[in-house]
Amino acid sequence: MGGKTKSTTLDLRMETSPQPRLLRILTVFTILGFAGTLVLGFAVAGTDIQQGEIQRIFYIHMPSFFGAFTAFGLTVVGGIIYLARKSETWDRIALAGVEVGLAFSLINLLTGSIWARPIWNTWWTWDPRLTSAAIMCLTYAAYLMLRAGIDDPGKRRAFMSVYGILAFVTVLITLFIIRIVPETIHPVIVGASPQNAQGGFEATSGVVIALLPSLLLWLTLMPITIMWHRVRLEARIEALNLLKLQALSE
Amino acid sequence: MKTPFFNCVTAVISKDLRAEIRARELVSVMALFALLSLLVFSFALELDKGAREEAVSGVLWVTLVFASLLGFNRSMSQERDQGNLDALLLAPVARTAIFVGKLLGNFIFTLIVGLAMLPLMTMLYGLNLLDGWIILTEAIGIFGLATIGTLLATMTVQTRAREALLPIALLPIALPFLLTAVRATKGILGGAPASEWQGALGMLAAISVIYLVLCLLLYEYIVEE
Amino acid sequence: MPDDSAIIIAEGLSKAYGGLPALRSLNFRVRRGEFVALLGANGSGKSTLLRLLSGLSKPTAGAIRIGGWEMPREAMAVRAQIGLVAHQPLLYENLTARENLEFFGKLYGIGIDERERRIAEALRTAGLSKGAGSLVRAFSRGMKQRLSIARATLHQPDVLLLDEPYSGLDQAAIERLDELLSAATEDGRTIIMSTHQLERIPRPARRALVLARGRIAFDDAIGRRNMSEIYRSSNA
């Protein structure tokens, strides 16, 4: 018994170790970067001639989807590596990817909805792209529900790795839905807009100056920094649960 | 040492068919559900001639998806209840062979129900669904559903909530099938030129293949402890 | 114990569920043809050990070798040599006794003529020749248990693992089961049988392995030293 207990206390000490230097640096850069993109979006970029101020929401709306894309993509990577190596860290990364990605896609849906109210004259419409984005969110909500329903930790990690890989298909569908169902009204800013698109605008130099940094920030720093914090938190939760269980089984 | 792949697949299928002929626990339940669903839809939607053309392909596929959920759950519970999944895993057989066997069994049972729905819907809704292309669409769509259904049901019967979790896990992932299958069926029913719906049919087949490959790769991880 | 006759070798065998240890670094060897009674209270790790030996689950640490093959890396080769009678009967209720055996015979790749012959013999030994055509659903617990043993031995495994086979059986069924186990020993099979009842150790068993909290508390000939005392104190 002695050896096992010793190693878990050691684990717990490791999980409560202070934040690595790199994580602190990343956190600072993410916060500063986010503030910077807000300044670019609100102050530097010009007001859109047709849509007015509401168009500025786009500088968060589209980047947040790609942030979710990164996070869900890391869930797939985490799942594959977990299945190959059975290393718990990668399962935590997969879980963090789902939670962060889900939060980002909710930001994406919410900002889109706020934009649609004045432009499309409705909060929500059953447009193929909106529908598939909503389904994407539901898939990852299902992930969290399924995860909570599996007691055996080994099974939970393996099953959720598999589900996280399968769920990514819905992300790809949301990306490529306009190829499957062309009659979407959702505008495409980069590349040719579908015929029925309503509320598109031109990617002028002002738009690009505000969009590009924001897109880069949401694609990389935002998901990675937040996920890293979440992975550390999950490690602590698991260590704590283990201690509780061991205390109970003594 | 290892039992050949094909022998194992046929053994699992013939076992499932035999048990089903005995007990009729799968097809009868799915068929009864499908019948009820069709009647409920026709009352609830008050399907008139105009609405029908639009709605019938949706009714067909929604009914099929929910009926198949019942079937997949039942089929995997039979492996779980008496611990038979363990018995399958004890044998010197490839895990993918077990998967393919269960998958084909589920495919056959659901297809039987799907095919039986066509003449029934033709009678009920006054639209001719007995068309070679519709049957092909059904076969591909049901195969795709059975692929992820078999994988996910193997997972969910091992969880605490058992049957309750399969719809939640399956429906979002099955949506690409539903989307493309409804689209293809609608095009065929409406007499649209083939160029308009063959894309959707091709997409349906492509998604089925993608999921099949993923499931074949991933199955062993959800049965190994 | 000479090495060449050891059919099962476990070294440093450990299994943890979610960080909680179920088995802690077990070391033991089982000779070919030995009948080992695996004793221990509920939760002592008996079932976990049998699942590890059958290849149904993988050890967290340590190694198992069965018949010279390494588990779980060469599990596929080991599977054909192992039969498991678990808590649950592992039978299909909607199939007849004969159909169940046919199905498992196919899974183990037994050719059709050989399969027919073995099934007839297995049904006879299990005393189920008359009930061969009835659904397993209608069987009593004792009949299911006998059919379960027929299923586990149909592919003539070198090693037979049984997990609490006596639970839920009446006296007559227990006696029949004893006969079946004696017959299996005479066939030269290596048997490991778990039970939590000391008085239920079958006659052919010569060696006892007592598990307590995932460790081996006693490993010696039955009746030697103070086996019962160790068993009782491990239960406390």
Whether residue C20 and residue A242 make contact (CB cut-off 8 A), yes or no, is yes
Q: Thinking of the domain A20-187+198-249, which architecture would CATH place it in?
A: Up-down Bundle (1.20)
Interval C110-132: pLDDT, tens:
999 999 999 999 999 888 999 99
Mean pLDDT of C149-172: 91
The reported pLDDT for the residue numbered A192 is 61
Whether residue B224 and residue C79 make contact (CB cut-off 8 A), yes or no, is no
The reported pLDDT for the residue numbered A15 is 54
Whether residue C18 and residue A4 make contact (CB cut-off 8 A), yes or no, is no
Which residues of chain A approach chain B closer than 8 Å at the C-beta? 83, 128, 132, 135-136, 138-139, 142, 145-146, 149-151, 154-155, 158-159, 161-163, 165-167, 169-170, 173, 180-181
Q: Which of B184, B196, B199, B198 is nearest to B57 (CA)?
A: B184
Interval C70-97: pLDDT, tens:
988 888 889 999 999 998 889 999 999 9
pLDDT score of C165 more than 80: yes
Calculate what percentage of chain C has a pLDDT beyond 70: 96
Which residues of chain B approach chain A closer than 8 Å at the C-beta? 148, 151-152, 155-156, 158-161, 165, 168-169, 172-173, 175-176, 179-180, 183, 200, 203, 207, 210-211, 214, 218, 221-222, 224-225
Bridge partners, C24 (sequence order)? none
Mean pLDDT of B108-135: 92
pLDDT score of C236 more than 60: no
How deeply is A15 buried, as exposed, middle or buried, from its count of CB atoms within 10 A (0-12, 13-18, 19+)?
middle
| Residues 6 or more apart whose Cβ sits within 8 Å of residue B204 | B137, B140, B141, B144, B177, B180, B181, B184
The reported pLDDT for the residue numbered B87 is 93
The reported pLDDT for the residue numbered A182 is 67
Cβ-Cβ contacts under 8 Å, A151 against chain B: 160
Cβ-Cβ contacts under 8 Å, A242 against chain C: 18-20
The reported pLDDT for the residue numbered A6 is 42
The reported pLDDT for the residue numbered A4 is 42
| B165 vs A156: CA distance, rounded Å | 14
Closest residue in C to B225 (Cα–Cα): C57
- Residue-by-residue pLDDT tens, chain A, 250 positions: 333 444 444 455 555 678 899 999 999 999 999 999 999 988 888 788 778 888 899 999 999 999 999 999 999 999 999 999 989 999 999 999 999 999 999 999 999 999 998 988 888 888 888 888 998 999 999 999 999 988 888 899 999 999 999 999 889 888 887 666 666 778 876 666 666 777 777 667 778 888 899 999 999 999 999 999 999 999 999 888 888 887 887 6
The reported pLDDT for the residue numbered C49 is 95
Cβ-Cβ contacts under 8 Å, C82 against chain B: 90
The reported pLDDT for the residue numbered C18 is 76
Task: Name the phi and psi angles at C140, rounded to 5.
Answer: -80, 170
| Residues 6 or more apart whose Cβ sits within 8 Å of residue A76 | A94, A164, A165, A168
- The domain spans of chain B are 5-223
Task: Quote the pTM value.
Answer: 0.90
Cβ-Cβ contacts under 8 Å, A155 against chain B: 158, 225
Task: Check residue C131 and report its DSSP letter.
Answer: G
